Amino acid sequence: MIGIIGAMDEEVEQIIAAMDIEREEAKASMNFRAGKLNGKDVVVVRSGIGKCNAAACTQILVDDFKADYIINTGIAGSLRPEIDIADIVISDDVLHHDVDVTGFGYELGQVPRMDTLAFKADERLVKLAKEAIVKVLPEIKGHVGRIVSGDQFISDRDTKDRIESTFKGYCTEMEGASIAHVSHINNVPFLILRAISDKADDSATMDYPEFEKQAIANSVKLIKELVANI
């Protein structure tokens, strides 16, 4: 079973429309739709925005649906000039940019008593996602790198520059690290995919509404092809 999470309805509604839905379950204010997508068993869910919602959603997928893989699809703000709006970032690893327990000797971003600073994505899923982008989205660039998450919409250049210089991230969003974190502690392979909707700077609030639909459309094409090959 492949668990597919999007934070917002807009990020999953086209995937749901392409499914053959076999059952639906509601839990924790989320609707889980299980069925077939491109011949594969999937369950698709809108988690809600933010790290807490995403973490709860991931654990339900593990416990109730016995997910073998977790894929998170959505949109994000670019942290690097070479990563343009509509490009896609494939997670190499993922971390929390808003965790600070340096006072106890941990690295900035590391959750206390965790065995890692950044959660490593599944190498096979990364490879399949790269191949899928080449096949179904040849007009855009795919980038493999670090995705960073926090409960903040980044929309000013100073914050963007600080996050990029500190963590060397490729893009920033609000759910991926929690999904990766929960997948990691449950030993479930995961992948975070992000289509770029804005530049995470002073133009972000203007870019986001204009490019959101394009970014989501790219994500849906990628998910369909990726699922078919898992």
Report the percent of the chain where pLDDT is more than 70: 94
Checking if the pLDDT of 202 tops 70, the result is no
In the chain, what are the domain boundaries?
2-229
Residue type, 129: A
Q: What whole-number distance in Å separates Cα of residue 97 and Cα of residue 99? A: 6
pLDDT at 11: 85
If you average pLDDT over residues 76-87, what whole number do you get? Answer: 89
Checking if the pLDDT of 118 tops 50, the result is yes
pLDDT at 206: 44
- Its CATH architecture, for the domain 2-229, is 3-Layer(aba) Sandwich (3.40)
If you average pLDDT over residues 106-117, what whole number do you get? Answer: 94
Element (H, E) at 69: strand 69-78
Q: Which of 51-60, 96-105, 194-203 has the lowest mean pLDDT?
A: 194-203
The answer to whether 97 and 109 are in contact (CB under 8 A) is yes
Residue 67, C-beta contacts closer than 8 angstroms, at least 6 positions apart:
1, 2, 3, 43, 61, 188
Q: pLDDT tens for residues 3-30?
A: 999 999 988 998 999 999 999 999 999 9
| Residues designated as active site | 11, 198
Question: CB neighbours (10 Å) of residue 208?
Answer: 19
DSSP string, 146-185: EEEE-SS---SHHHHHHHHHHH--SEEESSHHHHHHHHHH
Q: pLDDT tens for residues 135-169?
A: 999 999 999 999 999 999 888 888 988 999 999 99
Among left, alpha and beta (phi > 0; psi -120 to 50; other), residue 194 is: beta
pLDDT at 79: 93
Checking if the pLDDT of 92 tops 60, the result is yes
Q: Which of 89, 84, 97, 91 is nearest to 207 (CA)?
A: 84
pLDDT at 201: 62
pLDDT at 151: 94
The answer to whether 35 and 20 are in contact (CB under 8 A) is yes
